[in-house]
Structure 1
Amino acid sequence: MKKITFLLFVFCATQVFSQDMKALKATAMRDAQAACNATLKQDFKTLLTYTHPNILNAAGGAEVMEKYLESTFKQMNDEGFVYEIAETKSVSDVVKEQGEHRCYVENYNVMKMKDKRIVSTSYMLGFYNETAKRWTFVEAKEMKDSGAIIAYFPDFKTAMKIPENTMEMKDIKE
């Protein structure tokens, strides 16, 4: 009887854990797409709610970062840069590493700049904030040893195998 009770407990615990991970994966997809939508709308205040706090702190806070994004996008827009598509295509399995839930998301982007169209697939590393019940993201390529932001994440390690970004530039023939 003890063995059956134990096996039943293990089965139930596994099912609950699996459901929790599916729910976290679904919220990662929701939040990553919300960040993409904010990028398309140039709604930087919303976008920054999905940016990891370590990045915001390193930049001097959300207000400083928002002003920087506004001026950068204005300059890009003035030069003919337009985001045409920004969407989240997929979310990896959620893992628990170093005491936090993480995943990576695959984003598909199409941008236009003058007579060129840029098509890219990029990856963001997601961190789940238990308190806010929201995911925040950083560029995955920047979290590698040679990345520009890894220094803001002391002792960061991951076993996730995050694919490399891809980018293709094409002439627009209209």
Structure 2
Amino acid sequence: MEEMYDRYSGMVKAYLTRLSGSSELAEELTQETFYQAVRSIDRFDGRCSASTWLCGIAKHLYIDAVRRRKPTEPLPEDIPSGEDFAEKIVRKDQAMIAHRYLHSLEEPYREVFTLRTFCDLNHTQIAELFKKSESWSRVTYYRARQMLREAMEGNKNEKE
């Protein structure tokens, strides 16, 4: 299990960071993901990859955390500091705009796009996670990209 943690913890944390927008929550849920994986290792049958299995656990833990969270309780945020404060703010603002568009997508488009783009899962792994075909994963990812592109181009045209 230690080898699995060393190999996949970064990917799981990146996935959870993209889902939650909070590195603190992602770190906490990453630890919980591996704890749950240890508890249920006997149920891992190898029909999907370890990374797919771990992302599935992480996704369910994130959903549970969102359900338990009080509506008025904000998620913790990273506050930029240091010499490049302004640069970080600009990058963060641009990232927030992109994330707003991403979060406006309906499921499964948002999650497939996140898994493929930010977690670097291939279409076979995504298909396993959703219990769908690889072509379903490819089409869903393509459509998600198209929806994001159209939304961002529409916003750019509105500002001009």
The two structures share one fold, judged by TM-score above 0.5: no
Which one has more relative contact order, counting CA pairs under 8 Å at least 6 apart? 2
Q: Indicate the structure with greater strand content.
A: 1
TM-score using structure 2 length: 0.28
Q: Indicate the structure with greater helix content.
A: 2
TM-score using structure 1 length: 0.27
